Structure 1
Amino acid sequence: MKIEEAIPQRRSVYPPQYSDKEITRETIETILEAANWAPTHRRTEPWRFKVFQGKAKQELAEFLREAYLKHENAPSTFKAKRVESKVQQAACVLAICMQRDPKESVPEWEEIAATSMAVQNLWLRARSIGIGGYWSTPFLKDHIGDYISLKEGETCLGFFYMGYVEEWPEGSRETSIADKTEFI
């Protein structure tokens, strides 16, 4: 798929829409390599990814369920099960992390933006090979450091769920780019 096709076809596709097909490590590495080519000011390359598959994914699902029950003000067993099943339905889950430059040579927002561009690159690459995904930013992201090691200055910005998709949802925009552009 060419980039001009992948961009308008890139959209959030949720775990219940994924097939049971596994994503190979080689395919994940290809997707992450696309992420690594995101633009970055002063070459800080702040994006970091923690990959969960197989047993590690199952353990992540259990951790997130328990963290939800422990940290939510009014926990619901239904929602706890939903948190867990979302992870289980995905072929792969990435923790999207950002490593702050220890020298703080650029503003933090630029490193968050660079990480976001890395996610867009991986999302487009995934779409081009038939893999759907979506970026979720639940409050549970703030507890991932209780489960896996994060380096000093490393922050989790959310989770990226991935899986092969057989039927792609339609997409649209509410307004045209002309409505959002002013030439000066």
Structure 2
Amino acid sequence: MNITPEQATELIQNRRSLYPAVFNKETIDDTVIQAILENANWAPTHRLTQPWRFTVFSGGGLQKLANFQADLYKKVTEVQGSFDQKKYEKLQKKPLLCSHIIAIGMKRDPKARVPEIEEVMATACAVQNMYLTASAYEVGGYWGTGGVTYYEEAKSFFGLEAEDKLLGFFYLGMPKTDKWPEGRRDAISEKVSWVRE
């Protein structure tokens, strides 16, 4: 490989979650989105099930996603008596702040006999690859699991079946500033135990 450990460390330690509120109106070239998706496809996966499934929204597709999630939220919460007008409006507006949004799905392969949690973890690894690739291109990215993520009624819109999972949305856009946010992590020594004997 031509990548040095120092370069890998720099990329990993400079990955950030950048929220749609800090995106400008610039559209990311689809070749960058394709590179992000291609690298997602190289995540580790038990028995090569490759459970990740992605639906990419851009252009007019962002409005279609906004309408779908806002309308579904309203339908579900009005029945429950928990409808919130501000949340409804946020679901209508947030997608329009982005260049692209990638819906993240986990597709089950019942023949593989892989525990569901392993498929979820493999999909999460794919999203980490997306994060790292976006950062390498200096593209802002954010994995969100709000809105209609956990609504069973949302699955079919993204080509998912009952046994599959919608794991959220990866929001992408160009940051308004070229100043990358500083990172914040506690020392790894506080999170590790060594067993040497």
Q: Would the TM-score normalized by the shorter structure come out above 0.5?
A: yes
Partner SS, residue 67 of structure 1: helix
Residue number in structure 2 paired with 1:160: 170
Partners of 1:132 and 1:3 in 2: CA distance:
19
| Pairs aligned (count) | 183
- The answer to whether residue 9 in structure 2 is matched with residue 4 in structure 1 is yes
Opposite residue 29 of structure 1, the aligned amino acid is Q
Partners of 1:33 and 1:146 in 2: CA distance:
24
Q: Residues 69, 120 of structure 1: CA spacing in aligned structure 2 closer, same or farther, 3 A cutoff?
A: same
Residue number in structure 2 paired with 1:79: 87
Quote the offset at 1:150 in angstroms.
2.3
Quote the offset at 1:155 in angstroms.
2.1
2:41 to 33, 36, 43: 36
1:149 to 150, 153, 159: 159
45-54 or 3-12: bigger deviation: 3-12
Quote the offset at 1:151 in angstroms.
4.6
84-93 or 73-82: bigger deviation: 73-82
Runs (4+) of structure 1 exceeding 6 A deviation are: none
Q: Cα deviation per residue 1:87-143 (whole Å; 9 max; x = unaligned)? A: 110111111001111214211111100000000001100011111111111250223
Partners of 1:106 and 1:127 in 2: CA distance:
31
Among the aligned pairs, what percent are the same residue?
A: 41
Residue number in structure 2 paired with 1:61: 66
Q: Cα deviation per residue 1:45-67 (whole Å; 9 max; x = unaligned)? A: 11110000111111111111111
Q: Residues 139, 15 of structure 1: CA spacing in aligned structure 2 closer, same or farther, 3 A cutoff?
A: closer
TM, length-normalised to structure 1: 0.92
Partner SS, residue 142 of structure 2: strand
Quote the offset at 1:77 in angstroms.
1.7
User: Aligned-pair RMSD on alpha carbons?
Assistant: 1.8
Partners of 1:83 and 1:20 in 2: CA distance:
18
TM, length-normalised to structure 2: 0.86
Partners of 1:106 and 1:13 in 2: CA distance:
33
3-12 or 146-155: bigger deviation: 146-155
Quote the offset at 1:148 in angstroms.
3.9
Partners of 1:156 and 1:179 in 2: CA distance:
33
Residue number in structure 2 paired with 1:130: 138
Partner SS, residue 56 of structure 2: strand
- The answer to whether residue 119 in structure 2 is matched with residue 108 in structure 1 is no
Partners of 1:148 and 1:126 in 2: CA distance:
22
78-87 or 45-54: bigger deviation: 78-87
114-123 or 153-162: bigger deviation: 153-162
Larger radius of gyration: 2
- The answer to whether residue 55 in structure 2 is matched with residue 50 in structure 1 is yes
